[in-house]
């Protein structure tokens, strides 16, 4: 039997004004387990807390009930008070007789009656409380960043800067991501490579950062502070530590007809290649799908020309296992496929391109050396039509597009239009848009400059059809403001394709037990207050894997994710919330139902040997809760039919006792 003390707070007149506090204290004296009951003006004051401490010592209390304001206000205070007096802090319960009683009821008899009932419910609960101790787990002081675009790069640099080792896993042969493919950036028009490549070099030179390029995460185990990750390092057939990146092999390689993914297939590369000049790591990679030596055994030119001896045709995929304290997801985005958008003739004409393709066509390191030429005949285009929201905000065409706004297209199109008008003033530029969305510092000014200073024709309306005719593209669109149909003979049509999360994100989310929305963007732990954390403890989000973002937003989120990681890695030990689920293995059926509703992947199953009453042993599958991962929501407790799964601090019995006390 517990020895319970009840402490009724007046809160000045806040409570005492509508609740007869002395009557409450008196009424509680006869409740089962209560050995002491008193009232005081301000229980949360030093003097009030001393009363509690003294009573704990004097009456040898095993549990206390404080009838006061909301537990959201002072539960932590009174738990500390109890702990200071040597009582387990989880033996404290609060009866909320202020916010949920004295403040909402006007008549003293009514308020008093309700306060007594609330106090009795709290006493009934404390009678069943058990001391709880938060679990502790160590923290591996190393972070993993999945994705080596600007988001991953910034996160890794910030974490490394705080002194923690970081590994970046990137599926491509080089880090850099989408930003490396961009020409200029809005709204400042500085060149993307000029601001990105120094950061890439910083990554390469930072001794705290390891880059696993051409690699992917294949397995994730463990939990916050203690993840165990398997990384597959795909065979690149070139020894990374020996290759000097001289590029001789790429020049001599006889297979030069491989579509160059860095330029989105608009030119070719060799079978052994370095994606671009500033690649990090700057080492060659052999594309096994096109290398003659790997496919047929005949060739071996690269091996002959490599003076460093870096070529290794026998290389195999390698698996690296590493422990991490925190994981940052920075898997980024891709433009959606344009193949389903027949109306824009993307598949029919080379001169219908996506905005990302335009970036490459305008880039000095691109397929045309920075001169804007039509892909079909390498002529200067004189009339260019931009189509906005291709696949974005596309409610009616959910099977080919996305319902959301891709956020970055309005701004990059203004940038493209402005750059083209600046460099080729003889070119007419039309932009068909639904809305122009320019929230952001200096964004609207930027867009207005495109219209006002550069004379870009913005047309509110959608393009209905693009039909290639001869060397022209007949563009038919509606102008909603003037209520007319427009027919434009364009030389080049640029589609602002919607962006979607990278395809690698979904399987990764499953491995991480991190949740995703229906669009495969990662869900944040709280949309406003915890935007860079995933609901899974220790997993953080950086960049567009969480939602469409431009570069400044991505970089700020990357920094925020890094600071969360640093905050975690600074700790030597993690202290958990002791109010977590617990499965009684004697009652557990091992049915896996609880696992299905756990949002954190905190439940796993083990085969355990049980001694039966007849001295035989029996192996049964039972659930085990990882207390470091469980957040204590209790979803599993209701999914569990047998009642084996219960929640500490909010046990079935405790809640039932509260119900009984209230309904008595």
Binding site for other proteins (CB under 8 A): 70-73, 96, 98-101, 103-106, 110-111, 113-114, 117-118, 121, 515, 518, 523, 525-527, 535, 579, 586-593, 596-597, 599, 605, 618, 620-621, 631-635, 637-639, 641-644, 647, 650, 652-653, 655-660, 662-664
Which residue, 487 or 612, is less far from other proteins as judged by CB? 612
Which residue, 100 or 478, is less far from other proteins as judged by CB? 100
Which residue, 380 or 621, is less far from other proteins as judged by CB? 621
Which residue, 103 or 313, is less far from other proteins as judged by CB? 103
Long-range Cβ contacts of 119-122 (<8 Å, 24+ apart)? 119/6, 119/8, 119/24, 119/27, 119/28, 119/65, 119/67, 119/95, 120/28, 120/31, 120/661, 120/662, 120/664, 121/95, 121/657, 121/658, 121/661, 121/662, 122/65, 122/67, 122/93, 122/94, 122/95, 122/658
Do residues 622 and 585 lie in contact, with contact meaning Cβ atoms separated by under 8 Å?
Answer: yes
Which residue, 337 or 515, is less far from other proteins as judged by CB? 515
Q: Helix or strand or coil: residue 114?
A: helix
Which residue, 278 or 589, is less far from other proteins as judged by CB? 589
Q: How far is CA 485 from CA 142, 476, 481, in A?
A: 59, 7, 11
Joined together, the tokens standing for residue 500 give 């979607």
DSSP-assigned letter for residue 659? H
CA distance 43 to 78: 9
Smallest distance, other proteins to C-beta of residue 130, A: 13
Which residue, 442 or 642, is less far from other proteins as judged by CB? 642
Which residues contact residue 569 at a Cβ distance below 8 angstroms, ignoring those fewer than 6 apart? 139, 141, 142, 143, 159, 162, 164, 325, 326
Strand partners, 68: 96
Smallest distance, other proteins to C-beta of residue 382, A: 48
Joined together, the tokens standing for residue 653 give 């019995």
Which residue, 363 or 637, is less far from other proteins as judged by CB? 637
Smallest distance, other proteins to C-beta of residue 348, A: 38
Smallest distance, other proteins to C-beta of residue 650, A: 6
Pairing of the two strands 472-479 and 484-490? antiparallel
Smallest distance, other proteins to C-beta of residue 635, A: 4
Smallest distance, other proteins to C-beta of residue 99, A: 3
Pairing of the two strands 285-286 and 272-273? antiparallel
Which residues contact residue 24 at a Cβ distance below 8 angstroms, ignoring those fewer than 6 apart? 8, 39, 67, 97, 112, 115, 116, 119
DSSP-assigned letter for residue 490? E
Which residue, 52 or 121, is less far from other proteins as judged by CB? 121
Pairing of the two strands 318-324 and 226-233? antiparallel
Smallest distance, other proteins to C-beta of residue 299, A: 48
Smallest distance, other proteins to C-beta of residue 101, A: 8
475 phi and psi, to 5 degrees?
A: -105, 125
Smallest distance, other proteins to C-beta of residue 225, A: 20
Smallest distance, other proteins to C-beta of residue 453, A: 43
Which residue, 1 or 612, is less far from other proteins as judged by CB? 612
Which residue, 422 or 660, is less far from other proteins as judged by CB? 660
Which residue, 425 or 612, is less far from other proteins as judged by CB? 612
Smallest distance, other proteins to C-beta of residue 393, A: 19
Smallest distance, other proteins to C-beta of residue 535, A: 5
Which residue, 12 or 254, is less far from other proteins as judged by CB? 12
Tell me which residue of 258, 236, 238 sits closest to 249, measured CA to CA. 238
Smallest distance, other proteins to C-beta of residue 55, A: 24
**Helical pair 46-58 and 71-84, crossing angle rounded to 10 deg:** 50
**What are the respective helix, strand and coil percentages of the chain, to the nearest 5?**
30, 25, 45
Q: Helix or strand or coil: residue 540?
A: strand
Which residue, 97 or 389, is less far from other proteins as judged by CB? 97
Q: Phi-psi bin for 147: left (phi > 0), alpha (psi -120 to 50), beta?
A: left
| Site of tokens 């999914």 | 639
- Three-class HEC string of 541-608: ECHHHCCCCCHHHHHHHHHHHHHHHHHHHCCCEEECCCCCEEECCCCCCCCCHHHHHCCCCCEEEEEE
Which residues contact residue 91 at a Cβ distance below 8 angstroms, ignoring those fewer than 6 apart? 62, 63, 64, 82, 126, 129, 131
Q: How far is CA 76 from CA 39, 102, 103, 276, 576, in A?
A: 20, 21, 22, 56, 15
Which residue, 100 or 206, is less far from other proteins as judged by CB? 100
Smallest distance, other proteins to C-beta of residue 570, A: 25
Smallest distance, other proteins to C-beta of residue 107, A: 8
49 phi and psi, to 5 degrees?
A: -65, -35
């Amino acid at each position: 039997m517990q020895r319970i003390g009840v402490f009724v707070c007046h809160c000045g007149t806040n409570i005492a004004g509508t609740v007869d506090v002395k009557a409450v204290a008196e009424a509680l004296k006869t409740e089962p387990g209560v050995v002491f009951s008193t009232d005081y003006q301000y229980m949360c004051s030093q003097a009030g807390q001393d009363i509690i401490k003294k009573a704990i010592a004097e009456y040898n209390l095993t549990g206390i009930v404080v009838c006061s304001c909301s537990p959201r206000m002072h539960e932590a205070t009174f738990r500390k008070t109890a702990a200071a007096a040597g009582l387990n802090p989880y033996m404290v319960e609060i009866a909320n007789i202020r916010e949920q009683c004295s403040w909402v009821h006007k008549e003293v008899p009514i308020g008093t009656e309700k306060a007594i009932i609330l106090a009795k419910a709290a006493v009934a609960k404390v009678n069943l409380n058990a001391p709880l101790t938060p679990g502790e787990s160590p923290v591996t002081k190393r972070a993993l960043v999945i994705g080596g675009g600007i988001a991953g790069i910034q996160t890794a640099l910030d974490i490394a800067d705080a002194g923690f080792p970081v590994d970046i896993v990137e599926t491509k042969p080089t880090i850099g991501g989408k930003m490396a493919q961009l020409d200029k950036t809005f709204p400042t028009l500085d060149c993307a490579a000029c601001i990105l490549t120094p950061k890439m070099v910083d990554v390469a030179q930072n001794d705290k950062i390891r880059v696993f390029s051409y690699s992917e995460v294949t397995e994730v185990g463990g939990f916050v502070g203690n993840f165990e990750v398997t990384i597959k390092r795909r065979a690149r057939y070139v020894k990374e530590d020996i290759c000097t990146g001289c590029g001789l092999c790429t020049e001599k390689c006889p297979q030069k007809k491989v579509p160059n993914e860095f330029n989105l297939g608009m030119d070719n590369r060799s079978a052994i290649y370095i994606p671009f000049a500033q690649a990090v790591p700057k080492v060659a990679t052999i594309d096994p799908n096109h290398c003659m030596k790997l496919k047929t055994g005949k060739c071996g030119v690269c091996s002959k020309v490599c003076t460093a001896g870096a070529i290794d045709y026998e290389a195999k995929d390698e698996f690296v296992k590493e422990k991490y304290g925190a994981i940052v997801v920075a898997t980024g985005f891709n433009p959606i496929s344009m193949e389903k958008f027949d109306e824009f003739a993307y598949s029919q004409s080379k001169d219908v391109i996506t905005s990302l393709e335009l970036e490459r066509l305008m880039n000095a390191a691109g397929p045309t050396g920075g001169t804007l030429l039509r892909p079909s005949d390498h002529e200067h285009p004189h009339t260019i039509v931009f189509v906005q929201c291709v696949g974005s905000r596309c409610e009616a065409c959910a099977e080919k597009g996305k319902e959301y706004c891709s956020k970055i297209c309005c701004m990059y199109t203004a940038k493209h239009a402005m750059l083209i008008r600046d460099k080729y003033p003889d070119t007419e530029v039309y932009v068909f848009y639904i809305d122009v969305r320019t929230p952001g510092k200096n964004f609207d000014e930027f867009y207005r400059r495109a219209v006002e200073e550069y004379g870009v024709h913005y047309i509110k309306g959608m393009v209905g059809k693009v039909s290639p005719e001869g060397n022209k593209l007949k563009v038919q669109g509606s102008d909603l403001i003037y209520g007319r149909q427009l027919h434009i003979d364009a030389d080049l049509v640029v589609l602002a394709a919607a962006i979607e999360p990278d395809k690698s994100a979904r399987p990764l989310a499953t491995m991480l037990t991190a949740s995703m929305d229906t669009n495969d963007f990662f869900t944040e732990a709280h949309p406003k207050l915890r935007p860079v954390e995933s609901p899974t403890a220790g997993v953080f989000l950086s960049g567009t894997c969480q939602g469409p973002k431009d570069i400044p937003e991505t970089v700020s989120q990357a920094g925020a994710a890094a600071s969360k990681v640093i905050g975690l890695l600074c700790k030597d030990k993690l202290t958990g919330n002791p109010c977590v689920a617990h499965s009684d293995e004697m009652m557990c059926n091992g049915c896996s139902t609880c696992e299905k509703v756990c949002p954190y992947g905190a439940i796993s199953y083990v085969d355990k040997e049980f001694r039966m009453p007849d001295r035989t042993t029996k192996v049964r599958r039972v659930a085990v809760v990882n207390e470091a991962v469980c957040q204590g929501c209790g979803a599993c407790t209701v999914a569990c039919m047998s009642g084996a799964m219960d929640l500490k601090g909010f046990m079935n019995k405790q809640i039932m006792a509260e119900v009984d006390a209230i309904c008595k």
